[in-house]
A and B are shown apart, each in its own frame.
Chain A
């Protein structure tokens, strides 16, 4: 069955290193989301794309984070340089936003997450 995949599942790195997380959305979905989950802050939206174009990245610290969709089957989230406070689980989700009768319908499907630890 179709599902969102994320790699790597776990990443341990040292402060200052570059980290790249990858996501393969469900084929045919037109919207991709990046979330971060921590015990302190809960789930936060970092950015999302529709039809590969960034629509909202206001939740992302832009000095060190960048998100891209080089093609419809791949979304990336990069942190450079990484810091210990970036330690979290990063989730990718995809959805199909359709406009029917003037209303949008959408359900988000989440990947398993990348657990990032920055030492």
Chain B
């Protein structure tokens, strides 16, 4: 059974810092990995999707990397802003089916 772990559970940084969120998964037979953002009381917003054949994806100040063989992904946020404060979740999709397995999330607070 796939298990997804995110470290740290919570992170508080001053504005402007670069930061890294970590995601690890136990079964490397994945189809893709997705990073989501969730604001309090809201649904999830997809940030980046990395296919299993890819090593990284970039969108603006966000960069996600994937090392499938070691079961790890990182989300790098450059020059963090207070508006980045949210919970970040990673989710993996298996090679068959569309069932995503989510991590528990990292709650990020960026202080002005």
Q: Does B69 belong to the interface (CB within 8 Å)?
A: no
Number of A-B residue pairs at CB separation under 8 A:
52
Asked whether B43 lies within 8 Å of A112 as measured between CB atoms, the reply is yes
B54 to chain A, nearest CB (A): 12
- A111 to B102 CA separation, bound complex (whole angstroms): 17
Interface SS of B by simple majority = strand
Number of interface residues of A (CB under 8 A): 26
- A55 to B34 CA separation, bound complex (whole angstroms): 21
Asked whether A48 lies within 8 Å of B42 as measured between CB atoms, the reply is no
Asked whether B99 lies within 8 Å of A110 as measured between CB atoms, the reply is no
When distances are taken between beta carbons in the complex, the residues of chain A under 8 Å from B91 are: 43
In this complex, the interface size class of chain B, counting residues with CB under 8 Å from chain A, is 20 to 34
When distances are taken between beta carbons in the complex, the residues of chain B under 8 Å from A15 are: none
Query: Which one, B34, B51, B105, contacts A42 given CB within 8 A?
Result: B105
Query: Which one, B36, B43, B89, B97, contacts A113 given CB within 8 A?
Result: B43
When distances are taken between beta carbons in the complex, the residues of chain B under 8 Å from A42 are: 102-105
Q: A88-113 toward B: CB 8 Å interface, digit per residue (1/0)?
A: 00010101010000011111111111
Enumerate chain A interface residues (CB-CB to B < 8 A).
Answer: 4, 31, 33, 42-43, 45, 48, 50, 55-56, 59, 91, 93, 95, 97, 103-113
